[in-house]
Amino acid sequence: MQLYQAGHLADALAVCRQILTQTPDRADVLGFAGMIALKLGRSADAVDFYQTALALRPDHAEAHYNLGNALKHLNRLEDAASAYRRAAEIRPDLAPAHHNLGGVLQALDRFEEAATAYRRTLEIMPGSVDTLRNLGIVLHKLGRPDEAKAVYLHALEIEPGSPALYSNLVGLLIEQGEAGAAVERCNEWLALDPGSTEALAHQALALIELGDREAARELLDFDRFVKEVYLEAPPGYPDLKSFNRALAEHVCRHPTLKVPPEDDPTYHHPSLQITEELLAEPKGPVADLERMIHRAIEAYRREVMAGPDHPFLAAWPARWRISSWAVVLDGEGNLVPHIHLDGYLGGVYYPEMPDVVSVDDASHAGWFELGRPPPELHCKAEPEVRPIVPAEGKMLLFPAYLYHRTLPFESNQRRISIAFDLVPEQ
C-alpha cells in the first residue's frame, strides 16, 4: 500500500505477487493487484487477478465491475457487458456498473439496451451529465431526435457550459434542419467559451444551412485567415530538398509511427500512419522546423491582427505551445473532414509529395481542402470550400475551427505531411 500511494505501481504489484505466492487465497490482495495492473495498462493480467478473486468471492460486486473495466480495455465487449451486468445484479445501486454497461452496449450498437442501462443509472444518480449525454446519443441513434434533444437540454441545465453537450445538441439541430436554433445555441456556447474551436466550426455550418452565406463567409474568411508560406532551407542544409529529405527520413524512422487502432479518433483507414508528438526529443531536423513554425505564427498574427475585429482573433491565447505530429499516406488514401479540438491555430508542412499531386490536376487528387463538413452531420446546403494544392516546401496556416481533409489519391509514392497546432495554455 505504501508503494502504491508513493506511485511505485510496478513495485507494489511485485509485492502483491510475493504475497500471493505464499497465500494464494487472499481475495483482497488479488483485487488490489488487479487494480494496480489495470493502472499499469496490463489489462490481461488484471483480468486474471479479478477472475481468480471472483472464484474465491463470487458475490463481490466491485470485483465484477473492475473485471468489466479490464475486459473493456481488451475490447472484449460482450464479456465486459456480462461482468457489468453481474455487478449490477449483486448491487443494484452500483451506478457505475449500470453506466458502463450502457457504454459497452452502445459500442456494440445495442442502443435500446444501452438506453435502458443509462435510464437505470439516472434512477440512482439523476444528475449524471455524462450519463444524460450518452442517453441522448443512443436516443438519436434510435431515431428519436426529440427525446434526445430534451435530454441534452436537461443536461445543459445541470452543466451549462459543457462543450460536449453543446456539440451533440447543435449537431442534432443541424441534422434536423433547425439551423436557426443551432445558431442560437452556438451563440450561447461562444458566450460561455469565447473562441471555442468546435463552437465556431458548428456556427459556420449552421449559418450556411440557414442560408446566411454572408455571415458564414465572414466567419470562415479563407482569404484573410488561410495563409500559404514557402520555406527556405535552414542553416546546415545545402538546399530545401535536402532538409525535406531529412524530415521525411526522420518521420519514417520515428518509433511512434503506426496505423492507429480503429477505435482511435485519429484512425481513417489502413493506409494512413501517424506519429505521436514529433517535438519530443530527439527532435532531429524537426527542431529546425519548429523554429520556422514559431516565426510563421508570429508573422501570421501580425498580419491578421491588422484587420478588423473578429471572433477568432478576440480569443487569441496569451500563452500557448506547439504540438506536432506526422501523417504518412503510403500510395493511396485520404483524411476525412475533421477539426483540431485542442488547437487554436492549425497548420501543416509538406516535406514529401507524390507526383500525382499537381496544380494541373482537375480532380485535385491528394489536395488539401478546407470547409467541407463530415458526412455524419448530414448538412444539406452546399458548403463553402477552398481546395489548396500541397507542394514540397509549402506550409499552410489556418484557424483550427475550419474543417479540413485530404482528397483521395492513388500513387506508388508516399505523401508525407507534418501537422501542428498552436495549443492554448492556462
Question: Please, where are the H alpha helices in 91-212?
Answer: 95-107, 111-124, 129-141, 145-158, 163-175, 179-192, 197-210
Assess whether pLDDT exceeds 80 at residue 265: no
Query: Which of 365, 359, 373, 364 lies closest to 404 in space, CA to CA?
Result: 373
pLDDT at 98: 98
Assess whether pLDDT exceeds 80 at residue 263: no
Cα separation of 40 and 237, whole Å? 43
Question: Which residues fall within 8 angstroms of residue 412, CB to CB, at 6 or more apart?
Answer: 331, 354
Q: Using N-to-C axis directions, what is the helix angle for 197-210 and 179-192, rounded to 10°?
A: 160
Query: Which of 404, 353, 400, 345 lies closest to 374 in space, CA to CA?
Result: 404
Share of the chain above pLDDT 70, in %: 100
Which fold does the domain 224-424 belong to in CATH?
Answer: Jelly Rolls (2.60.120)
Helix (H, G, I), strand (E, B) or coil at 161: coil
Assess whether pLDDT exceeds 90 at residue 260: no
CATH no. for 2-218: 1.25.40.10
Burial class (CB in 10 A: 0-12, 13-18, 19+), 265: exposed
Question: Which residues fall within 8 angstroms of residue 411, CB to CB, at 6 or more apart?
Answer: 331, 332, 354, 355, 356, 357, 366
In the DSSP assignment, the letter for residue 343 is -
For the segment 286-314, the average pLDDT, to the nearest whole number, is 94
**Which of 218-232, 241-255, 261-275, 360-374 has the least mean pLDDT?**
261-275
Assess whether pLDDT exceeds 80 at residue 332: no
Assess whether pLDDT exceeds 80 at residue 230: yes
Domain ranges of the chain: 2-218, 224-424
Assess whether pLDDT exceeds 80 at residue 333: no
Contact indicator for 320, 344 with CB cutoff of 8 Å? yes
Q: What is the pLDDT of residues 106-115, one digit of tens each?
A: 999 999 999 9
Rounded to a whole number of angstroms, the CA Rg of the chain reads 25
Assess whether pLDDT exceeds 80 at residue 266: no
Beta bridge partners of 386: 370
Cα separation of 175 and 220, whole Å? 21
pLDDT at 269: 78
Q: What is the pLDDT of residues 281-297, one digit of tens each?
A: 999 999 999 999 999 99
Q: What is the pLDDT of residues 160-217, one digit of tens each?
A: 989 999 999 999 999 999 999 999 999 999 999 988 999 999 999 999 999 999 999 9
Assess whether pLDDT exceeds 80 at residue 406: yes
> Which helix (H) or strand (E) element contains residue 398?
strand 394-399
Number of DSSP helices (H) and strands (E) in the chain, helices first? 18, 8
Assess whether pLDDT exceeds 90 at residue 261: no
pLDDT at 195: 87
Mean pLDDT of the chain: 95
Q: DSSP secondary structure string, 193-244?
A: STT-HHHHHHHHHHHHHHT-HHHHHHHH-HHHH-EEEE--PPTT-SSHHHHH
Long-range contacts of 21-26 (CB under 8 A, 24+ apart): 25/56
In the DSSP assignment, the letter for residue 376 is G
Q: Using N-to-C axis directions, what is the helix angle for 163-175 and 197-210, rounded to 10°?
A: 20
Q: Using N-to-C axis directions, what is the helix angle for 61-73 and 77-90, rounded to 10°?
A: 170
Contact indicator for 196, 311 with CB cutoff of 8 Å? no
Q: Which residues of 135-146 are buried (b: 16+ CB within 10 A; e: fewer)?
A: bbbbbbeeebbe
Cα separation of 203 and 185, whole Å? 9
pLDDT at 114: 98
Q: What is the pTM of this model?
A: 0.86
pLDDT at 92: 97
